[in-house]
A and B are shown apart, each in its own frame.
Chain A
Amino acid sequence: MLAYSLRRLLISVPIFIASTFVVFLMAVLSGNPLNKFLAISPPPPPQTIEAERIRLHLDQPIFERYWNWLTGLFRGDFGPSTESTLDIGTEVINRYGVTLRLVFLAMLLALILAIVAGVVSAVKQYSGVDYTLTFVGFLFLAMPTFWFAILLKEAGINFNNAVGEQVLYTIGDSSVYVAGGAWDKVLDIAGHMILPTVSLALLSFAAWSRFQRAAMLEVLGSDYVRLARAKGLRRGQVMRKHALRTALIPLTTVTALDLGSIISGAVVTEKVFQWQGAGTFLLDAISRDDVYAIMAWLVISATVIIVLNLVADLLYGVLDPRIRYA
């Protein structure tokens, strides 16, 4: 299993590197970062513009720029940002810390909700509960993240007004200054996290609960569940020991595969709640035509995704003996 995952990884890396070239090319072609000088009046002296051109390697041919960027990566150099004071490497890693906090917590919440909803739906198939959960699932599948996030933000503000206290924060990932000790800092961060986490989690919840329902239904209809009943196990025992145990396995793969779309969702969520995370880092970089910053975001994201998929592969092997020795 480990060998299989590593072999997959070994093919994925070159393909990923090839795809970075495509994105690099598109990003370079999509805009000229020097255009911002044209908007200033009076325009800065040509020497300033020329110095910036050289600092951003715009004087080099594109293949050379790409090659220098790629080799720079292995030295830990992400390249120059259009913001002269910005160190891309430090910034992107700090920002990703904030984002991963959101992403992992949202995944956890989504998984718990999806498993409960999916299993209940499957066990009570065609009941009122099932129809309700199914409809809620479909509704969230159809709901754009940004719309729901804005709605939650509004609800948060109303909630704060009703309580008469700032409990749920609707702007930022943490307060700049928090009075009191470490516990207050934790509370502050938690207060900032609740709404964005819920907003991001419900996006994945919809798809995963449908998936979990289908997986559970398949297992419930399987011959081995019937045999377990024929052996004299009670319904509850069969659910716990046979159905749930097996029906959870496929969710590991799906969770890992969906990480990309959750990171995308985090970009939107961060924008709505004005977090200083990797998502807003990317959006700012795109607006600035900051090619190296965009590439840094992409490389880190891909690394996170590839590593997590590898972990999921290994976990799958642990959970499913059929894969273990394959």
Chain B
Amino acid sequence: MTPTDPTTTAGDTVLEVEDLTVQFPTDEGLVEAVRGVNYELRRGEVLGIVGESGSGKSVTSLAVMGLLPKTARVSGSVRFNGNELLESTDKQLSRIRGRGISMVFQDPMTSLNPVYTVGDQIAETILVHNDISKKAAHKQAIELLETVHIPNPEQRAKSYPHELSGGMRQRVVIAIAMANQPDVIIADEPTTALDVTVQAQILDALRTAQKETGAAMILITHDLGVIAGQADRVMVMYAGKPVEKGTADEVFYTPRMPYTLGLLGSLPRLDVKTERLTPIAGSPPSVINMPPGCPFSPRCPLSDDICDQEEPDLESGSDSGHLAACHFSYRVEGHEPADLFRPNAEDPLPAGATEGEVIE
């Protein structure tokens, strides 16, 4: 097993996911959390995965790490530097986790063990994968804290997690993720649990970590705003499946799936004035015992009979790399969110609100 092949160069595929499905048997029925995900991650690039909660984006990445609960049924293929991860033993996976692929979780308040100092927790991940002294590992831990812009790193390394703010803790988690120069960093909603004011700093820290290590990054979020300006390519997920894939520009400027358009419409924009947000009505479907047809159909303004009968495949349109799963993707192209998802005219504005204000 050679996790870092020196001959590979930028642009090579480090992570390849094919037909990944994840199912959880529960009392209420089979939960199909992931229903066929494909993507490739090239060295050094940033892939954004967007979707509402329950769309399977987090489960996908946990499946890649081999960290799903034992009850999960996983099938398909996950290849990391050519090695099939789904067939690897836990021992083999342990060598890749934290060194080949590392992860940043959503909630920094609970991600760190409360009874160890942050220095110890960073050093631990170094010691697991490298045969060096504890002292050397601690020295590296302090350097890592400095890299993610934590002031007084020597002192902070001796702190316990509860003595640090949420933003600081997330920096520590990022330091852990970059400690062993991984090829892939998976950041699962890294800013969701944080204050808006801290979010940009954390994204900066992630970007620094990615640049320093040369790792590819998967940035998972429900917030298109987080992806914008960060991701090279974007994959939109809905009900366990990718529904649109393309470069960031393609997905942001010429979406081909009504759901993506809806997501864009519910994003407050600074560049467009006097325009109300256009919400997507309804909520994502339950992924237990799903009916046939397109899962977005009940919420979709373009929905027709065929949408209830047949689930569309991911298909490319005129521009070859840009895929969308919609029977009517040609009707989406070139439209603004408000064209499809009308802001409800009968819904009066709240008192004191003026047109164009953010309505939550």
Residues of A within 8 A of B (CB): 222-224, 226-235, 237, 241-242, 245-246, 249, 319-322
Contact = CB atoms under 8 A, between A and B. Distances in A.
A321 B67 contact: no
B168 interface: no
Contacts, number: 72
Contact of B113 (A228, A232, A234, A319): A228
A249 B116 CA distance: 13
A222 B114 CA distance: 11
Contact of A231 (B115, B125, B160): B125
Contacts of B209: none
Given A231-B125, A232-B96, A234-B90, 11 more contacts: A223-B111, A224-B112, A224-B114, A227-B105, A228-B113, A229-B97, A230-B102, A231-B98, A232-B180, A321-B162, A322-B114
Contacts of B128: 231-233, 237
A230 B65 contact: yes
A224 B105 CA distance: 9
Most chain B beta-carbon contacts within 10 A, residue among A227, A237, A242: A227
Contacts of B16: none
B110 A232 contact: no
A-B pairs, top 7 by smallest CB distance, nearest first, are A232-B98, A231-B98, A231-B125, A223-B110, A224-B113, A232-B97, A321-B160
A230 B114 contact: no
A100 B282 CA distance: 65
Contacts of A233: 94, 98, 124, 128
Interface of B: 65, 67, 90-91, 94-99, 102-103, 105, 107, 110-115, 124-125, 128-129, 160, 162, 173, 176, 180
A221 to B, nearest CB: 9
B120 to A, nearest CB: 10
Most chain A beta-carbon contacts within 10 A, residue among B94, B105, B113, B124: B113
Contacts of A249: 115
A227 B103 contact: yes
A244 to B, nearest CB: 11
Contacts of A321: 114-115, 160, 162
A245 B90 CA distance: 23
Contact of B97 (A231, A246, A320, A322): A231
B176 A246 contact: no
A245 B112 CA distance: 14
A230 B97 contact: yes
B98 A245 contact: no
B105 A231 contact: no
